[in-house]
Structure 1
Amino acid sequence: MTDRTTTAPRICPNCDGFASAAITLGGRNARGQLRTITAHCPACNGTGIAPTRRNREGARA
């Protein structure tokens, strides 16, 4: 069995990896398409991956 050479990315705990969502505003535009906006997770800025933790001075590893 081979070992992983890189670690798996940490999934954002706030959005569970689903960082962006299309939200319907209701109604349709002049062309008949639904009006939507895109909302991004504020914790991971729409990447779906949690930011890495930084070591603080004096903290144990």
Structure 2
Amino acid sequence: MPQHAPSRPVCRNCDGFPTVAITTGTHHRDGSRVTVRATCRACNGTGHTAPSATLTRAGR
């Protein structure tokens, strides 16, 4: 069970993993793989989103 609740909601598009490294399949001369970094556009690389406004019913 988590001890601390997150202070802001986690991004729905990236599930809190805003930056990833994707391998292209080719190798450098030293044997390491060529990678491309991709950042989530929805949260701008933060992993969190602003809380959405809630609908409140007023009146009758």
TM-score if structure 1 supplies the norm length? 0.68
Q: Distance in 2 between matches of 1:51 and 1:25?
A: 33
State the 1:31 CA deviation: 1.3
Q: 5+ residue gaps in structure 1?
A: none
Runs of 4+ residues over 6 Å off in structure 1: none
Query: For residues 10-40 of structure 1, what are the alpha-carbon distances to aligned partners after superposition, in whole Å with 9 as ceiling and x for unaligned?
Result: 1111111111111001110111110001101
Does 2:50 align with 1:51?
A: yes
Q: Distance in 1 between matches of 2:34 and 2:50?
A: 32
Aligned to 1:16: 15
State the 1:51 CA deviation: 3.0
Task: Give RMSD over aligned pairs.
Answer: 2.4
State the 1:9 CA deviation: 1.4
TM-score if structure 2 supplies the norm length? 0.69
* Percentage identity across paired residues of the two chains: 38
